[in-house]
Amino acid sequence: MHWNWHEAPGLDEEEFFSNAMSWHFSPETGSRFWLDRLESLGFDPVRDVRTHADLALFPNLANDLRDVPVEDLVPRGYGESADVIGAYDSGGTTGSPKRVVLQRDWMRHSLAWKSARMDDLGFPRGADANWLTVAPSGPHIFGRLMAELPAMRGGVAFTVDLDPRWVRRCLAEGRAEEADRYAEHVVDQVETVLASQRIGVLVATPPLLERMAERESLVETINTKVSVIMWGGAHMDPDTRHLLRHEVFPDVALRGQYGSTTILGGSMERPAGPGAESSKACVFDSFSPYTTFSVVDPHTREEVAEGERGQVVMHHVSKAMLLPNNLERDTATRVTAPAGSLGVSVADVAPVASFENATVIEGVY
């Protein structure tokens, strides 16, 4: 694989980073965002960043994405040929959302990779594989990326829209009942589509799958019609995953993806090798070398050892964007990446623990 997206066997790590740093930090090709920050970095990326491990030199600048004009994010090297599909927001769970731009070349290449992983994972292709995607559109990159896939794989795209920000707002304001009603409204639409259409692939978030699981007839329809459920956009704990796979949707393959807006996409679940892993572990491999993971100790920021849990750091290094060292609000187990890949793979991703039930003193219970 080369810097300019050409597929090639093997990866020269040094060459990749040398090209990437030259692109993003040369006045002719770099983005205004990075050129403006070059002085304050305290190191010379072109000279000092030679390997994946060197990405740790960069500060986490993801917060700057909350207010930077998006034009500043496009590398100048694209010139007139820049083909920006649009600006997309992170979820905005903390403060105002971070904003990134999605370019067509990145979308094409990352989805080609994703589609190849879907072949590995047994996703259907062709006319039998219509898709029903329950995902946020609008400012959310997830819905935009998902919208491309059915056509790439030969099916018709059905969609049900959802607004996760409204749900979060309801919950933050203590209106859980309203969030419930909204979720039921979404599941009603899913049920309507599935009632009359041939759907081979169902894309949904774990909380919505759990809602669907509460409706007996819908569960039966999904088991009968759907061959793959692809989940993403939220965490799924190993126990819930086991229940969904073995008790709720035993006739459907359950496949996960894990990603972030700030790396412009996601990773895919690793296909289970023959007896290679315990049935409950869910491992995600990234689109190396362009998107990669590290797992660090939240206090020291040092990488944890193989098999240990820590906080997930995501990196994006491509022609379209450079954004290394994003500390995500997720924890995961560090797993060896596939041969030839950079960084690590992650297993059993979970939210960073919140401080629930902190020192209650009064009372006897």
Partner 1 sequence: MTAPVLLDALGASGPYRTERRHQVTGVDGSALAELSQVPRLYVVRTVAALRRAEPLPADARERALRSAAELFLGEVEGVTPAEHERRVSLATGVALPVVRAASRQLVRSARLAAESVAAARPAGSVADWRDRPGTGAVWARRGEVLAVHAPGNHPATHTEWIEALALGYRIAVRPSNREPFTPHRLVAVLRQAGFGPDQVVLLPSGHDVADELVRTADLSLVYGGDQAAERYGARADVLVRGPGRSKVLLADGRPLDHLDVLVDSVTGHGGTACVNATAVFVDGDAAELAGRLAERLDGIPVLEALDERAVLPVHPSRRAADLEAYLHGKLGDARLVTESALTVELPSGAAALRPAVMLLRTPQAAQARIELPFPCVWVAPWSPQDGTGPLRDTLTLTAITEDEDLVTRLVAEPSIRNVHVGDHATHLMAPGLPHDGHLAEFLMRSKTVMRTGAASL
Residues that bind partner 1 (CB under 8 A): 176, 210, 213-214, 237-240, 242-244, 247-248, 280, 356-357, 359-365
**Residues contacting 213, CB < 8 A, separation 6+:** 219, 244, 248, 249
Minimum distance from residue 215 beta carbon to partner 1 (Å): 11
Rounded distance between C-alpha atoms, residue 358 and residue 47, angstroms: 47
Annotate 118-184 with DSSP letters as a single string.
Answer: HHHTT---STT--EEEEE--TTBHHHHHHHHHHHHHT-PEEEEE--HHHHHHHHHTT-HHHHHHHHH
Is the CB of 189 or the CB of 240 nearer to partner 1?
240
Rounded distance between C-alpha atoms, residue 350 and residue 336, angstroms: 18
Minimum distance from residue 172 beta carbon to partner 1 (Å): 15
Is the CB of 143 or the CB of 232 nearer to partner 1?
232
Is the CB of 105 or the CB of 237 nearer to partner 1?
237
Q: Which two tokens stand for residue 51?
A: 């390997």
Longest dimension (CA), the chain: 70
Minimum distance from residue 348 beta carbon to partner 1 (Å): 8
Is the CB of 7 or the CB of 362 nearer to partner 1?
362
Is the CB of 10 or the CB of 363 nearer to partner 1?
363
Minimum distance from residue 34 beta carbon to partner 1 (Å): 40
CB burial of 67-81 (b: ≥16 within 10 Å; e: otherwise) equals: ebeeeebbbebbeee
Is the CB of 22 or the CB of 240 nearer to partner 1?
240
Is the CB of 163 or the CB of 210 nearer to partner 1?
210
Task: Count other C-beta atoms under 10 Å from residue 120's C-beta.
Answer: 11
Is the CB of 283 or the CB of 321 nearer to partner 1?
283
Q: Is 255 helix (H, G, I), strand (E, B) or coil?
A: strand
Question: Given the structure tokens 């060896």, which residue do they identify?
Answer: 336
Is the CB of 67 or the CB of 365 nearer to partner 1?
365
Distances (CA, A) of 63 to 80, 94, 262, 333: 28, 10, 10, 25
Minimum distance from residue 171 beta carbon to partner 1 (Å): 11
Minimum distance from residue 290 beta carbon to partner 1 (Å): 32
Minimum distance from residue 223 beta carbon to partner 1 (Å): 15
Q: Which H or E run includes 161? A: strand 157-161
Minimum distance from residue 365 beta carbon to partner 1 (Å): 4
Minimum distance from residue 30 beta carbon to partner 1 (Å): 44
Q: Which two tokens stand for residue 255?
A: 């496949």
For the chain, the distance separating the N- and C-terminal CA atoms, rounded to the nearest angstrom, is: 60
Minimum distance from residue 180 beta carbon to partner 1 (Å): 8
CB 330 within 8 A of CB 296: no
Is the CB of 109 or the CB of 211 nearer to partner 1?
211
Distances (CA, A) of 181 to 106, 108, 163, 164, 171: 37, 37, 13, 13, 12
Q: Is 87 helix (H, G, I), strand (E, B) or coil?
A: strand
Q: Which H or E run includes 195? A: helix 176-196
Rounded distance between C-alpha atoms, residue 308 and residue 304, angstroms: 6
